[in-house]
Amino acid sequence: MERESQMEVLEKTLPRSDVSGSKFRVTADGNEALQRGTEIFEQVQRRQRHIMQPSQYELETEIGKDKAIQWFGTFYKRMMADPRMAVLFNNKDSEANVSALVHGKRLALALWSRWTDDQSYYHEVGNNMFRRLQEGHTRAKQCPMRSKRLQGRGFTTAQRNSWLGHLWLAGKESSIPPKLNDQVVQHLATLIGFYGPFVEANSKA
């Protein structure tokens, strides 16, 4: 069976006019992610200190690289099914129009290469990791599936928090040890400001 494009998946979720306009349907999973991510973000902000990622030993013995790839694949699967996040994936762009597993593997290996001495990212994805990440975020911000008001602008605060929430929920679904799931997501929450500034959008867009 051929893999469906991101647009085909999205069109099964809501009408095309809702994708490109400022209004869209929300989903129960999407709202759960937004709520959980908001809680995580606010909790980290109250602490006012950097939270370190788990040690290499913890990552390798309690999660493992293959499990991490599965976790992040589940994370992207959740985001692509959430209309709030799906508008960031341009199905006409070859880099963006790939499966959730491919997206998840890219990010999992990028983080794994930063947190351990594993170099799989550079062998399987390529060099210039930070440039690739920046280009990916720029493509997402400029995605034509966003409303005209938001195209080319920053991610919304709801998208920021949903990102964190989907990652935490994906970790739970993937049976990541709760302590490590919390620590990884909270660590990334302390870094997420690098991808701002964020836009306060209406209707939790």
* pLDDT, tens only, 108-121: 999 999 999 998 88
pLDDT for residue 9 = 43
Q: What is the pLDDT of residues 6-33, one digit of tens each?
A: 434 433 433 332 333 334 568 999 999 9
149, 22 Cβ separation under 8 angstroms: yes
* CA angle 37–70–117, rounded 5-degree value: 95
Q: What is the DSSP string of 27-51?
A: -HHHHHHHHHHHHHHHHHHHHTS--
Q: For the whole model, what pTM was predicted?
A: 0.84
For residue 2, give the DSSP letter: P
Q: How big is the CA angle at 45 (ends 40 and 51), to the nearest 5 degrees?
A: 75
Instruction: Identify the pLDDT of residue 196.
Output: 87
Q: Is 54 left (phi over 0), alpha (psi -120 to 50) or beta?
A: beta
Structure-block tokens of residue 152:
């080319």
CA dihedral 19, 22, 26, 29 (to 10 degrees): 70
Listed in sequence order, the residues at least 6 apart from 168 whose beta carbon sits closer than 8 Å to its beta carbon are 36, 37, 40, 181, 182, 185
The candidate with the shortest Cα–Cα distance to 76, out of 107, 54, 97, 100, is 100
**Low pLDDT (below 50) residues in the chain:** 1-23, 203
